[in-house]
Chains A and B, each alone.
Chain A
Amino acid sequence: MKFLVLIYDNPASREVFLSLPAERRAAGLAAYRALDEELDATGEKIVSSPLAYPEHTVQVRVADGATMTTDGPFAEVKEQLAGFYLLECDSQQRAVEIAAKVPEASFGVVEVRPLMDLSAFEG
């Protein structure tokens, strides 16, 4: 089963992180390295990446065949997508266990979303 772990943060939580002493920030990054290493060893990670800051967002709309772009994220969005893990694991329970190891789970928001499954048993 595949799951997408979505990691959100917000301007306030980023400020908090950047104002932390260097060793606390290093501990956060070390937690990510440890998580990546664990998931590579078990084969459960398909791909993961942090995202560039939200101000680099480009919104794209197509109307009447014309492509229109707007710079920056939706202003009203409080929590912004900061990174993701695409996982393949045996159960949702396991995906939640992995999500709990993401540092943002302690101060931001972490979501687990199953991918749309196209397989099925009959009847």
Chain B
Amino acid sequence: MTRSSGELDGLLRELAPQVLAAVVRHHGGFDECEDAVQEALLAASQQWPRNGVPDNPRAWLITVASRRRTETWRSDTARRRREEAFRPEAAPVPDTDDTLTLLVLCCHPSLTRASQVALTLRAVGGLTTAEIARAYLVPEATIAQRISRAKARIRGVAFAASPDAVGAVLQVLYLIFNEGYTAGSGEALHRVELTAEAIRLARLLRRTLPEDGEVAGLLALMLLTDARRPARTLADGSLVPLEEQDRTRWDTVMIAEGTSLITTTLARAPIGPYQLQAVIAAVHAEAGRAQDTDWAQILALYDLLASLTPGPMVTLNRAVAVAMVHGPSAGLAELDGVDLGGHHRVDAVRAHLLERAGDLDAARAAYRLAARGTSSLPERHYLESRARRL
């Protein structure tokens, strides 16, 4: 079998986390296993173009990496004069995909968010430390240190794919997605596509957990959100709110995939918060014009979301839906109960609703208050421009 070098790279990148997971599971020692897998990948990239891709490329890689890992183990052990005590065997090639166990390990609760993200992108995403450093605008040495300390911390922890562990993985993937989605256009220029990477990882996870409604829900949510990206900023980087976006610029292929995914998922899986957010995004996506949006349905979905995962952000978004269905003063009344510790989003939503209610002086003051409250430069510019045009 012959393949182009692009196809080969893609295949190796897809197999790398599965091979790493299998070798780590059998031998332990994340660092050493990663080195062994890198050597196996290098061997494959040299031998396969010449000799053809083996029938079971994954098994080939696991065997080679496992052998390398064992050789390192032997030489380390020899140095410690314990060589003859133990004869390690090669890792058995499992039938199952170990990507999930690797993801769960990378998102272990003993790690900080920043470390979970860096380790996931490195070990499962296969990004280099340089790429991760550029994506997060920190020095490469910081990322290298973060990854090595994270590996040291999870050394020896048990694999357990509990629902909580899967929940942590979903949170990390969503965090990676949002980092890419909300990046300013200027700074995004030289960054790897974190949204694309998050979507790729979500697809990978969905392959191992095809029945999980929330995994499908998160993937659908990412697709339906990312579809709006071409319309969310102008050429100068300024933000365009949802109701003013040029909807002809939305990515119809992504919308179709996201909508179909969430529709089939809802029919068979227990409902969850990612699925609900995906449905809300799908309802927005099906409206050709902002004024065609089915706000009554969105409000009903927020009611459900508020009962499932109550929280200030849900209350805030629900208040917008209430205003669209029952009028701005009803929405403003909902805001009175929101406590986000003086968060600027509350002031921004209040400003929008006051503007709709025609109380322009109060709206202007609320926009200015919100502008002062945000540390985000594009949001500040946007809120100040709203205040100015009243």
B26 at the interface (CB under 8 A from A): no
Beta-carbon contact of A120 and B242 below 8 Å: no
A50 at the interface (CB under 8 A from B): no
A88-B138, A117-B377 are contacts. A40–B382 as well, Cβ < 8 Å?
no
- Most B Cβ at <10 Å: residue of A119, A121, A122: A122
Q: What size tier do the contact residues of chain B reach?
A: 35 or more
Between-chain CB contacts (< 8 Å), 20 pairs = A40-B145, A42-B114, A43-B118, A43-B142, A43-B149, A43-B150, A44-B114, A46-B139, A88-B136, A90-B114, A115-B375, A116-B377, A118-B187, A120-B184, A120-B376, A120-B377, A120-B379, A122-B228, A122-B233, A123-B242
Shortest CB–CB separation between residue B142 and chain A, in angstroms? 5
Please measure, in the bound complex, the distance between the C-alpha atom of A121 and the C-alpha atom of B343, giving whole angstroms: 14
B164-194 CB mask vs A (1 if < 8 Å, else 0) is 0000000000000001001110110000000
In A79-123, the 8 Å CB interface with B consists of 88-90, 114-123
A23-48 CB mask vs B (1 if < 8 Å, else 0) is 00000000000000000111111110
Beta-carbon contact of A41 and B153 below 8 Å: yes
A40-B145, A41-B149 are contacts. A114–B375 as well, Cβ < 8 Å?
yes
Q: Which residues of B contact A114 (CB under 8 A)?
A: 375
Secondary structure type dominating chain A contacts? loop
Residues of B within 8 A of A (CB): 111-115, 118, 136-139, 142, 145-146, 149-150, 153, 179, 182-184, 186-187, 228, 232-233, 239-245, 374-379, 382
Beta-carbon contact of A46 and B243 below 8 Å: no
Beta-carbon contact of A116 and B375 below 8 Å: yes
Please measure, in the bound complex, the distance between the C-alpha atom of A44 and the C-alpha atom of B378, giving whole angstroms: 25
Please measure, in the bound complex, the distance between the C-alpha atom of A117 and the C-alpha atom of B184, giving whole angstroms: 9
Q: Which residues of B contact A119 (CB under 8 A)?
A: 179, 182-184, 187, 376, 378
Beta-carbon contact of B378 and A43 below 8 Å: no
Q: What size tier do the contact residues of chain A reach?
A: 20 to 34
Shortest CB–CB separation between residue B257 and chain A, in angstroms? 21
Residues of A within 8 A of B (CB): 2, 40-47, 88-90, 114-123
In addition to A42-B114, A116-B377, 18 A-B residue pairs with Cβ atoms within 8 Å of each other are: A41-B153, A42-B112, A43-B118, A43-B145, A43-B150, A47-B139, A47-B142, A90-B113, A116-B375, A117-B376, A118-B183, A119-B182, A119-B184, A119-B376, A120-B377, A122-B232, A122-B242, A122-B245
Beta-carbon contact of B114 and A89 below 8 Å: yes
Q: Which residue of A lies closest to B116 (CB)?
A: A43
Beta-carbon contact of A123 and B182 below 8 Å: no
Q: Which residue of B lies closest to A43 (CB)?
A: B146
Q: Which residues of A contact B115 (CB under 8 A)?
A: 42-43
Please measure, in the bound complex, the distance between the C-alpha atom of A43 and the C-alpha atom of B120, giving whole angstroms: 14
Please measure, in the bound complex, the distance between the C-alpha atom of A45 and the C-alpha atom of B139, giving whole angstroms: 11
Beta-carbon contact of A120 and B139 below 8 Å: no
Beta-carbon contact of B239 and A123 below 8 Å: yes
Q: Which residues of A contact B186 (CB under 8 A)?
A: 118
The 4 tightest CB contacts between A and B, nearest first, are: A123-B241, A118-B184, A43-B146, A119-B182
Q: Which residue of B lies closest to A116 (CB)?
A: B377
Q: Which residue of B lies closest to A3 (CB)?
A: B375
Shortest CB–CB separation between residue A61 and chain B, in angstroms? 27
Shortest CB–CB separation between residue B348 and chain A, in angstroms? 9
Please measure, in the bound complex, the distance between the C-alpha atom of A90 and the C-alpha atom of B111, giving whole angstroms: 12
Question: Out of B139, B149, B241, which one reaches A122, CB within 8 Å?
Answer: B241
Beta-carbon contact of B239 and A122 below 8 Å: yes
